[in-house]
Structure 1
Amino acid sequence: MKWTLEVIAVPVSDVARAKEFYSEGLGFVVDHDVEPGGGARLVQLTPPGSGCSIVLGEGITDMPPGSLRGVQLVVADLRAARAELVERGVEVSEIQLLGDPAGPRPPKEGESLDNVGFVSFADPDGNTWGVQQISARADS
């Protein structure tokens, strides 16, 4: 059986501010921005090339704003992705290599980032995200 992850609810305090961050800051595509009534607003956005979207809105989750942790994006070129985030004004960490017995460390010049290179950032509410480089995957 094939299982797909389609939508992740992101707990935010200000839907308009979060929409701007995810669409303008991160370049996510706005799929829907609807007001179904009663003062509710739902915004669905998708990272470029992803099959999974995020949804922002009030009352869509009982998680407090800023409590989301551990969501990870994957890119083929982490250096280019980090540069794009910086250019868009996103505060993003320096690249770190994970998996070294001594702990996380900056990469050495020319060192491969595949599977072990990461950066992180937070949205305006403090929800934290990771970005990992994976340029090729084994066939499943």
Structure 2
Amino acid sequence: MGETLTNHCATMAHFLQTEILQFMEGGLENVQQGMDGLCRSVHSYDKCFVGKNYESCGKKAGKFLVKLTHQTSHALMELLDDVLKLNDLPRSCKEWLNQKDINGLRPRVIARRLRNNCFELFNVIPIIITVMKIYSFV
């Protein structure tokens, strides 16, 4: 089943991978400019994957994936905003964040749970920088 989902969205995955690489190659000084393409690609991939998941795995699995992508997208944007101090989100990012409107945890609740679990932001920053460096050499 995983192969079916992966193959169905392979084109979107390729575009997403390209955007991530371009985003990282742009460096910290160009993050704001790279956000539009990144959010657009992630949104397209999410729609493809979630749609195929509903079709292949049923309603319950589809709802689970919608909730998961909703929570992770908000957590990622909060992390980027906290670390990089984004000035204004592009329209594509707002659409990406809003398209998964379900009754679930709000971004602040996610952040609070992470803090309560002794999750320190400074532990994540070296990981992000390391990943960016690795992809800059590829």
- The structure carrying a bigger helix percent of its residues is 2
- The structure carrying a bigger strand percent of its residues is 1
- Give the TM-score normalised by the residue count of structure 2: 0.28
Which structure exhibits the higher relative contact order, with contacts defined as CA atoms closer than 8 Å and separated by 6 or more residues?
A: 2
- Give the TM-score normalised by the residue count of structure 1: 0.27
Bigger Cα Rg: 1
